[in-house]
Amino acid sequence: MNAIAIVDKNWGLGWDGKLLAHLPGELKYFREKTKGKTIIIGRGTYESMSCKLLPGRKTVILSRSENFKADCPVFRSAGEALEYLKGTPSEDIFVAGGESVYREMYHNCDKFYITIMHKTFDADRHFPNLDEEPGKFDVKELSGIITENGIKYQIFKYERKNER
């Protein structure tokens, strides 16, 4: 299974339910990478998208709220979602936010497509810092430095080494 995220230098994901920066090229990368795939997101991420499903993707939502409803499957736990997705090739599943979903699904992911902005923002949500686990991942640079809206960023692929 995969995870995909954009983070700042401190692995910050967002502030007050919003992304830290608007980078159209990075959004295009996300769209291309996840098109035709299944994304797993949390209720907060879904609500930050104005409760609209992203076109061309199958969406699964994790929410602990008993009364939460959406126009796609909603599960109360990662285990329930993974059971539902049994039979879906793992390379076709992307964990796409927010913080609690990344943390809950972290150990199920083998590949992490991470866009790292060369800037620090105020953030109240964070992705697990993969660089704090030296030797656990093979890291491949997928892009050179890209500058958009005055922000420099790079795209990396962290692949978990075969330790399982």
Domain ranges for the chain, please list them: 2-160
- The arithmetic mean of pLDDT across residues 45-49, rounded, is 93
Beta bridge partner(s), residue 148:
151
Tracing tokens 């992304």 back to the chain, one arrives at 19
Residue 115 carries which side chain, given as an amino acid letter? Answer: T
The token pair at 1 is 């299974």
Whole-prediction pTM:
0.95
* Architecture of the structural domain at 2-160: 3-Layer(aba) Sandwich (3.40)
Spatial separation of the C-alpha atoms in residues 39 and 61, rounded to whole Å? 8
3-state secondary structure of 39: strand
- The arithmetic mean of pLDDT across residues 138-159, rounded, is 97
Spatial separation of the C-alpha atoms in residues 19 and 160, rounded to whole Å? 26
| pLDDT confidence tier of residue 134, bands split at 50, 70 and 90 | confident
Share of the chain above pLDDT 70, in %: 99
| pLDDT confidence tier of residue 127, bands split at 50, 70 and 90 | very high
pLDDT tens track for 70-116? 999 999 999 999 999 999 999 999 999 999 999 999 999 999 999 99
User: What was the pLDDT predicted at 15?
Assistant: 96
3-state secondary structure of 79: helix
